[in-house]
Chain A
Amino acid sequence: MAEMVFQRTKGLQDRPFHYCPGCTHGIIHRLVAEALVELDVLDKAIGVAPVGCSVFAYDYFNCDMQEAAHGRAPAVATGIKRVHPDKVVFSYQGDGDLASIGTAEIVHAAMRGEKITTIFVNNAIYGMTGGQMAPTTLVGQKATTSPFGRDKDHAGSPIRISEMLATLDGPAYIERVTVTTPAHVRKAKRAIKKAFQTQIEGKGFTMVEVLSTCPTNWGLTPVEALRWLEENMIPYYPLGVYKAPEEVK
């Protein structure tokens, strides 16, 4: 008898991802789905999809999904969770969605301590619209709207969402992870599971920020993109736990 080490999770529908080759959205989708299955909450999970590359997330997760207007996923998730407090509600958002047009929604959902989980995929660029500068784009990083690199005097320094939200009392758990190596992928999954567990325990708002790549718009191969992330993004966006459930009173 052979023992199965790894197979596609039942938390995902049997449908190929539309993402570009090497896009880490596929890994993060899988981790969220695996976490829901392993916590045995897939049948009571409700996800909220964003606008951006992951706009079709509702086609991939094998649970109930709702599409939200651009940036408003935390507000929609708030409504769903308050009507269905026994459900496990999550929003899945990119940095263009969460850190730009949806900043007000995420800050206030976190401030209110809404018992939802946000998966925040930060790849430092607008992917779907073709590689424009995002609030998370690094200083000096080239994008179609910053062809000479982001200018700090003109566009400011990138926003660190996890650190910012961790200053609030509402969040129960905030961690920043990445998916550049198998070890980091496994760590990211533990963080996502912990976030859902913390939500189920009713402790407050939970968010996992996942540093991600955009090989297409960064103009790198998928393998180069992972190395670029490690060398450039991790120094500016340090990995780690920014708010732990143990600290919540």
Chain B
Amino acid sequence: MAKVRGKVTFKEHLCKGCELCTTVCPVDIVKMAKDRINTKGYHPATVDEMEKCIACGNCATICPDTVIQVERLRDND
């Protein structure tokens, strides 16, 4: 069975740095970007190891500010 891969995109300007998304990721790849701040003045949430994403959508489900968009990629993508 092909491995499910996902792609998450963050609208970083909407992020308020609440960190709820970082607590629900089953593969623990959602982190706060401590090296930058957004226009609201928060460290935005981000993903560095995107290849580990399984497109479960947990991060987007718990996000109070609809920062996160999740796509599931097929093998030929």
Instruction: Report the tally of A-B residue pairs with Cβ distances under 8 A.
Output: 84
Pick the residue among A20, A21, A181 that contacts B62 (CB under 8 A).
A181
CA distance A1 to B62 in the complex (A): 26
For the complex, give the distance between the alpha carbons of A16 and B66 in Å: 9
Q: Are B61 and A182 in contact (CB under 8 A)?
A: yes
User: Which residues of chain A come closer than 8 Å to B68, judged between CB atoms?
Assistant: 6
In the complex the two chains form, is A1's CB within 8 Å of B77's CB? yes
Counting CB contacts under 8 A, is A164 at the interface?
no
B28 to chain A minimum Cβ distance, whole angstroms, is: 14
Shortest Cβ distance from residue A37 to the other chain B in the assembled complex, whole angstroms:
13
**Contact B73 A2, beta carbon cutoff 8 Å:** yes
Chain B residue at minimal CB-CB distance from A19: B64
CB of A4 within 8 Å of the partner chain: yes
Chain A 1-51 interface residues, beta-carbon cutoff 8 Å to B: 1-9, 12, 16-17, 19-27, 30
- Count of A residues near B, CB < 8 Å? 32
Is A226 in contact with chain B by the CB < 8 A criterion? yes
Q: How many residues of B contact A (CB 8 A)?
A: 29
A181–B61 CA distance with the chains assembled, in angstroms: 9
**Closest beta carbon of chain B to A15's beta carbon, Å:** 10
- A3-B74, A6-B70, A16-B65 known; A222 vs B60 contact (CB < 8 Å): no
Kindly state the separation between the CA atoms of A7 and B71 in the bound complex, as whole angstroms.
Answer: 9
- State A34–B23 Cα separation when bound (angstroms): 23
Q: List 30 A-B contacts (CB under 8 A).
A: A1-B77, A2-B74, A2-B77, A3-B71, A3-B73, A4-B70, A4-B71, A5-B60, A6-B57, A6-B69, A7-B69, A8-B69, A16-B14, A17-B65, A22-B18, A23-B64, A26-B63, A26-B65, A26-B66, A27-B62, A30-B66, A181-B62, A182-B58, A182-B61, A185-B61, A185-B62, A186-B61, A222-B18, A223-B23, A226-B20
Q: Which 9 A-B pairs have the closest CB atoms?
A: A26-B64, A22-B18, A21-B16, A6-B60, A222-B18, A5-B70, A21-B18, A2-B71, A6-B70
